[in-house]
Amino acid sequence: MSRDGSHTQRGVVRGHLPVVNPQLFADIYDEHAHAVFAHAVRMTGDRAGAEDIVSLTFLEARRLRDTLDGVTGRRAWLFGVATNVIRNTRRAARRHREAMTRLPPPEAAPDVAEAVVSRLADSAEAAAALAVLGRLRRADREVLLLHVWSGLTHEEVARACGVPAGTVRSRLSRARARLRVLVTAHLAQSPPRGHLPAPRPTREGTL
């Protein structure tokens, strides 16, 4: 980790939780930050991500400062904290990937458009819903697709997204309401079904 990077990370850490002995904690950071960074790189293979791991590790160390005061092998203890941080970030990334893998491929979208809009039976409305899905908030869209499209229960969606079931319900309600507004507006801007646009005028003597 570069000298400038070390100073940046130290600044990030110092901007958070208060510490009983700031100088002691600063000394611990200066002594062990590079080793924690190297450990994170070895564990993840990602130097940029390792910088974040260092910040999170020392933030967690501040939260556990009462434990840290009684630790003799501080480097090993910090490695343990860093390892737990890495596991947590991997778990969160895995939950997100699992949620994404439940989404059908783009080419399957026309076949499930009716399910996405639930009780919207008209094919024009289904196509409109498909067209405006991308305008929903990402979190709301994920919940809507996982519940309505993939058929997961509220509890299953909550586990996939890593949020409480109550949050899933509120996002789902908001997504449905917003989707109906967007569909109505989209249909209002579209020409009626079966309507052909008027032919463009041609110059006299030309086809």
Dump pLDDT digits (tens) for 41-50: 888 888 888 9
Residue 13 has pLDDT above 50, yes or no: no
Question: Considering the domain 3-100 in this protein, what is its CATH number?
Answer: 1.10.1740
Summarize the chain as % helix, strand, coil (round to 5). 75, 0, 25
pLDDT computed for residue 34 by the predictor: 92
Q: Strand, coil or helix: what is 91? A: helix
pLDDT of 174 above 70: yes
pLDDT in the model for residue 190: 67
- How far apart (Å, rounded) are the C-alpha atoms in residues 112 and 104? 9
* Residue matched to tokens 């109505």: 184
- Domain 103-189: which CATH class? mainly alpha
With a CB cutoff of 8 Å and minimum separation 6, the contacts of 197 are 191
Contact (Cβ atoms closer than 8 angstroms) between residue 78 and residue 61: yes
Please report which confidence band the pLDDT of residue 149 belongs to, taking 50, 70 and 90 as the band edges.
low
Q: How far apart, in whole angstroms, are the C-alpha atoms of residue 143 and residue 172?
A: 6
| Domain range annotation of the chain | 3-100, 103-189
| Nearest-angstrom CA–CA distance, 195 and 129 | 20
User: Distance between CA atoms of 144 and 164, rounded to whole angstroms?
Assistant: 15
- Is 0.75 topped by the overall pTM? no
Give the highest mean pLDDT range of 5-19, 114-128, 136-150.
Answer: 136-150
127 has a pLDDT exceeding 50: yes
| Best CA proximity match to 169, nearest among 188, 156, 186 | 156
Question: Averaged over 164-180, what is the pLDDT?
Answer: 88
In the predicted model, what is the mean pLDDT of residues 129-153?
78
**Which whole number is the average pLDDT over 93-121?**
59
Show the CA angle centred on residue 172, arms to residues 131 and 126, nearest 5°.
30
d(CA 162, CA 95): 7
Length of the chain: 207
CA distance 59 to 19: 11
Q: Closest Cα partner for 9 from 43, 45, 57?
A: 57
Specify the pLDDT at position 154: 86
> Are the CB atoms for 51 and 5 separated by under 8 Å?
yes
Beta carbons within 10 angstroms of residue 148's beta carbon: 18
